[in-house]
Chain A
């Protein structure tokens, strides 16, 4: 008699526990789903009214409710910043990652890793502030895209260093020994054989870092100036970027500006999600 009853009680407990877990998970996920829903809805509405093509290519007219225009220059700015950030961050992160992984066990390697791990958590507003002081205030004398890219690169750098050194570390010992046994000097060996063997992992780190950078606003607040009139690729002039545009336009008391902001939010979300999914797919291929 006691056996089945106990089993029933245990089953009940299991279900109760499961219910609690599902509720908690729901509570955690609900805000996220709400954000996705809201951005998709409001952004979708705005873009549908303006027309996708116009929205992606026009300059904004935040004061014209009948024709809000689009986010073209800001989008170009974001792509420009992403490209510069990727180039700058990779150029510095790769040697640092190589140092961490190939001089493993040395004090220099440990110190570099520790520094990178610490900087990952560094407040991005401080990065923006510092770059402002040096590149905007001191050197160029006006807001400029180069300063924005520098700030973003500094934000992404520690993350990329950690990811890349991890990717290098995961190159199997056998492959590493084979690389060194090819009789090339150490630096050549690392850059011609070991880093390429880890290239997917490094690329994934770069993509995730860029996805993060694409949404960063704080480093851009006082670096790029937020100019959205017309296209240009000049590095030493003011420019725009999608997240900064959202931040600035959503605060304007004009219907058209808000529509632009929501539409821009949807575009930003899609960019970030696409890059993240791409990164995941690459990771999955690595595992196989």
Chain B
């Protein structure tokens, strides 16, 4: 039986008084990619932000229910502790514009004292950039600004920055929505590699069925703030049990 890195139990989220998540219960198996799918506005980003407690920043947000990371409730941890174990990559590439490429990746290890020497820091930076499949493209210009990179490179830099935290879980909110197909493939490969080689657990939000099948072991289908269907990717994609899922996969939702 699979063990679970992450469990969401009967999670309700209200934003500005409107109930966005209406009792979501879902488990994310360790060392696997779970794709979270669903039409626009159905609460996928909200789910991710509830998991790493980024919703705490929104004074209009109210949360009920529980999220457990390796058995520990995130609501009994400090929010920043959660975010170190559960790193996030956003839909828009968002490197820190005032830091160099190197410093963007190094900032996490520096904040958390993960490296004792400059060499150790260099190694983490290199490791993270390699895992994000960006090293070869930036190794000669680590000191330049990330704003000179292409959109897809910036997104891989955002991934490297998240990886440098040495997280156990990665939340990916449509990480390829704003990048070209070549970069999208690189990001998918990077995620697969991390899961295979580092045993990371990934939650991959996407609304492209083809991508979900390529990249994930499991699919969770959200609709109207509820989990409508979940299971192994092929099963969900090929034989959806719920008519809504089927409609979505036919591109009609």
Contacts and interface: CB of A to CB of B under 8 A. Distances in A.
B69 to A, nearest CB: 13
Interface residues of B, number: 30
B57 A180 contact: yes
A177 to B, nearest CB: 6
Nearest to B53: A180
Contacts of A106: 59
Contact of A183 (B95, B97, B111): B111
A141 interface: no
A152 B233 CA distance: 66
B90 A199 contact: no
B165 A180 contact: no
Counting chain A residues whose Cβ lies within 8 A of the other chain, the interface size class is 20 to 34
Interface stretch (A34-42, A58-66, A190-198): A190-198
A174 B108 CA distance: 17
B50 to A, nearest CB: 14
A182 B107 contact: yes
A183 B81 contact: yes
Interface string A162-196: 00000000001011111111111110110011001
B84 interface: yes
Nearest to A197: B98
Contacts of B96: 175, 178-179, 193, 197
Given A105-B59, A178-B158, A185 B78 contact: yes
A181 B78 contact: no
Nearest to A189: B80
Interface string B69-103: 00000000010111111011010101111110000
Given A105-B59, A172-B94, A197-B97, A181 B107 contact: no
A174 B92 contact: yes
Contact of A175 (B82, B94, B111): B94
Contacts of B165: 182-183
A285 to B, nearest CB: 12
A53 B29 CA distance: 76
Contact of A184 (B54, B80, B92, B97): B80
A48 B1 CA distance: 91
Nearest to B60: A105
Contacts of B92: 174
A192 B98 contact: no
A188 B57 CA distance: 15
Given A180-B83, A199-B98, 5 more contacts: A175-B96, A178-B95, A182-B107, A183-B85, A188-B111
15 contacts: A105-B59, A172-B94, A174-B94, A175-B96, A175-B97, A176-B57, A178-B90, A179-B96, A180-B54, A181-B54, A181-B162, A183-B81, A183-B82, A183-B84, A183-B87
Q: Which 8 A-B pairs have the closest CB atoms?
A: A183-B84, A174-B94, A183-B83, A184-B111, A178-B94, A181-B88, A174-B92, A105-B59
